[in-house]
Structure 1
Amino acid sequence: MRIKYLNLVFIIFLISITSNFIYSQNTINIDSVKNVINALPNDTSKVNKINDFVWSIKMSNFNDAIEYGTQSYELAKQLNYTKGIAYATKNLGAVYYYASDNKNAYDYYKISLDAFKKMNDKKGIAIAYRNLGNVSFNIADWKQALDYYLKSLAIREEIGDKKGVAAVNDAIGLVYSSYKERDFKTPAEYHRKALKINKELNDQYGIATSYLYLGRNYYTKY
């Protein structure tokens, strides 16, 4: 009963913290942005503009996000613009991820990873690994999710991305609590690591998230 109650609280929490973000996406004048994009020459600037647009509507307008994300990807390939390919496919992966299409999300995230590797963009690589971990988590492939998260964590630690380190520690904690049902110590250790960093950064959202996961782990235990 406690677990069901906590899951409900968890869902309500996620809804509350994303509602303002989703609302801000819906206030974008999509038609105006489309007109600007359509008037641009087919160069790298257009790819960047489309990528920014797709990212802003990834959760609120699936059809436009897929249409323009695909347009950006194809144009970036024509221009041999690796950075554009990396972000276009990252965006498409996110659109499919939020639409619960795990296969397409994984495929595009994998292309994104390869593009970031080609550029030796370590932060981009770390983000791509985490994205692939998220999809693996969704399909309950715990070992693969953990592998991707650990790769992301190593890179984020290397480049000093503390916020990213905290987020991935929380993600790793969730993996352990999901596939090792009686192991409550390991998840708590990762969530505490995340909480410590979030407090150092004064990241209120991160602090709340880490506390929530610690609470979830505690209620599952008892």
Structure 2
Amino acid sequence: MVTIENHRLAAIVEKINTPPKLLSKAAGRDTCSIFKVPKSFNDVNGTLYQPQIISIGPFHHGFAHVQMMEEHKYHYLGQLLRRTAMDLRDLFVAVGPLVDPARECYSQPFGLEDIQFLEMLVVDGCFIIELFRKVSKLVTFEEDDPIASMSWIFPALLRDLHRLENQIPFFVLQCLYDLTFGKDSCKSITLATLTLEFFNHTIQRPKHIVWKYKVSSIIIL
């Protein structure tokens, strides 16, 4: 007869009472929309799923191979603030209440404290919004901006912004966009339209699809 010792029972009880970390409860909720790629997929061809030059969101934040673009995120944030004459604190105050809902969008926990996560949401979100506006020619690229002038960077950005693990919630982008809405020449275009037009560089849609979105957005406004 096999007997089980108390310390082993205690260890099992501890595991029972410990919430899952590699696949959290958030993964089963309707709010969850950003998932980590299963390890088996990465083992076969991890380069298909991991960002090559820029990290967006917490899963690859701080990794050495994406630091090149990290400086450009802050540079774009500075451009947005100067152009709109906004205060940096206003961005943090607006996005602050979204920190907890944004965490619920990720299938796995990550090692960022709330203030670090908030800064990442603001910086990454403003970079994406500025990039969308520049590509749509609503805002002018600075002279010698490498994102526009170096032929290999923009295609790499497009690929990275498609990657499953490399995302922030759309409602964060919408919050930041609404905050700067009407501050410059892009006041008549919705974020949904800008997003469709940006990704149309890689996923070609019939023009009437994008036009339909424009019309519906104008009606809503």
Q: TM-score range by the shorter chain?
A: under 0.3
Structure with bigger helix share is 1
Higher relative contact order, structure no. (Cα contacts within 8 Å, ≥ 6 residues apart): 2
TM-score (norm 1): 0.28
TM-score (norm 2): 0.28
Asked which structure has the greater CA Rg, the reply is 2
